[in-house]
Structure 1
Amino acid sequence: MRVYFNDENQTIVNNAFAVKSRSAELANVYVDVEPVQFNRGFYSVDMTFCFDVSVEVFDRPCGRTGRKPCIVSGIAVFNKRVILFGSEGNVKVFTSDHENVNNESCHYNDLPKAVVEAVDPVFLAARLVDADTPAEGAQIPEMFSEKLEGSFGCVVPLKLVLVTLGLFSIVKLERNVQMLIPAYDFCIPDKECVTSSSDPCDLFKNIKFPIDEFFPPRFNEHGTGSQGCGCGDSDREH
């Protein structure tokens, strides 16, 4: 992914000799859900991941003595699409807290809700490359420019920073359904909790010795179990 910088940081990158990865953080995820045509019940989930990326910029070979590397921050963007089953729904939902200009209390609930769970990415690599078409690469996406301070578009990017990030995520579709759950009346405890005053040594003696913690698990002949080795006593190793 390309990292977008403001004009001040892009000037530093243009004069860079090399870059080194420092940190990456998942800033936001923009999600859009659309039904898949000719495949009822399935929906496409388009996700745009926005990362805050920091790299160390060297203006000379890293092994030479001199100034310390300059740390610059920018934005990296990655798009991903998945298709999931989300069932169908064609009902009107009436709520008392729904706000709109007409003071109506209903809205349609045709689409399921997409939920994306992700952790901060693993910074795998960063490299510096020359911009093939500097004039075309001067603009940062407008929806992300507000996340960076400073001016944009005045410095032509002569060099680009490309990063590789590893991201673990879970994407799911959620829809409200009707479920019948038995309900019970609350109960008041009628017994008093008595604190045990027994000897702690006696309590420890009643705990089963954790044998499994001291010995590695054994696999049976199918390689999936830990009880028994699938052989007779005569073949057992001691």
Structure 2
Amino acid sequence: MDGGALPENITMVKSRCVRVSDICMNIEPVPFNRGFYSIDLTYTFRIEFMAYERACSSPVLLTGTAYASKNAILYGGESNTQTFFSSEEQLGDTNACCETVNLPTAAVQVVAPIALEARIGSVCGSDGTTPVRTVIMTLGLFSVVEVFRPVTILVPTYEYTIPAKECHTDTESPCAVFDKIRFPAEEFSPSALDTIPKEKCCGCNELTENDENSTLE
């Protein structure tokens, strides 16, 4: 809590706003697992509370800071090269044994935290023995941890030629386009009897083969 312990007259607290203000990251190679790296994350949360002396009373705005830690092991590959940029940046360094150390870059994406619970409790003070009244919160956080490094990609290139064909920008008139359309003569001529597909009838009007023969007689 900013300003020390929670006042004794506060009996209820509700979270008003929670945000991630900072993330401290430390990346180190994992021993005996080449290409894997351990990322230690420390989240810093800024929290605003609405504190009440009793139910339905006017709230008082309080602020505080909370911390949470997380560890992740990810594969980031290996690289024994040093890269120098014109912007005076540098990737990779040498250690005391003149070995090239080129660690990947870690990044964390987070969304707004979710306040799941806020209650009043006691924790040990700075001396380790005196209990201090404070707010204990349970937060839900979705995050994506990733490691990446620059890589070299070979892209094949091919010769190109300037097209010799000229593109005409002038468009034909609607009448010229219509003159190129074939006249649909079949649409104006009745279909022949033998080209009409026979349709089967169902119901009382359906004729059988015997009925057709008797009708022809």
The equivalences for 1:88-237 within 5 A come to: 88-98=78-88, 107-108=92-93, 110-131=102-123, 133-136=124-127, 158-182=132-156
Identity of aligned residues (%): 35
Contact 1:98–1:106 at 8 Å: present in 2 too?
no
Deviation at 1:28, TM superposition (A): 1.3
The one-character-per-residue Cα deviations of 1:79-119 (angstroms, maximum 9, x if unpaired) are 100000111111111222126xxxxx775361000010111
What do residues 138-192 of structure 1 show as CA deviations (whole Å, max 9, x unaligned)?
A: 9xxxxxxxxxxxxxxxxx873111111111111011011111235688x9xx676
Q: Aligned partner of 1:38: which letter?
A: F
**Counterpart in the other structure of 2:50:** 56
State which structure, 1 or 2, has the greater radius of gyration over its C-alpha atoms: 2
Partner AA of 1:127 in structure 2: R
Q: Deviations over 1:115-141 (max 9, x none)?
A: 10111111111000133x335369xxx
d(CA) in 1 for partners of 2:106 and 2:74?
A: 10
Q: How far apart are 1:12 and its partner, in Å? A: 4.9
Give structure 1 stretches of 5+ with no counterpart. 100-104, 139-155, 195-238
Q: 1:42 aligns with which of 36, 47, 63?
A: 36
Once residues 73 and 137 of structure 1 are traced to their aligned partners in structure 2, the CA distance between those partners, rounded to angstroms, is 23
| Structure 1: distance between partners of 2:92 and 2:31 | 23
User: Residue type of the partner of 1:50?
Assistant: T
Determine which of 20, 26, 33 is the counterpart of 1:32: 26
Amino acid at match of 1:28: D
Q: What does residue 84 of structure 1 align with?
A: 74
- 1:14 shift after superposition: 3.9
Detail structure 1 runs of 4+ shifted over 6 Å in the superposition: none
What letter corresponds to residue 19 of structure 1 in structure 2? V
Q: Which has the higher contact order (CA 8 A, sep 6+)?
A: 1
SS of the aligned residue for 2:10 comes to coil
Q: How many residues align?
A: 157
Structure 2 Cα separation of the partners of residues 51 and 59 of structure 1: 25
Instruction: Name the structure where strand makes up a greater proportion of residues.
Output: 2
- Please tell me whether the aligned partners of residues 46 and 63 of structure 2 are also in contact (alpha carbons under 8 angstroms): yes
TM-score (ref. length: structure 2)? 0.63
Structure 1 residues 15 and 120: CA distance shift in structure 2, 3 A: same
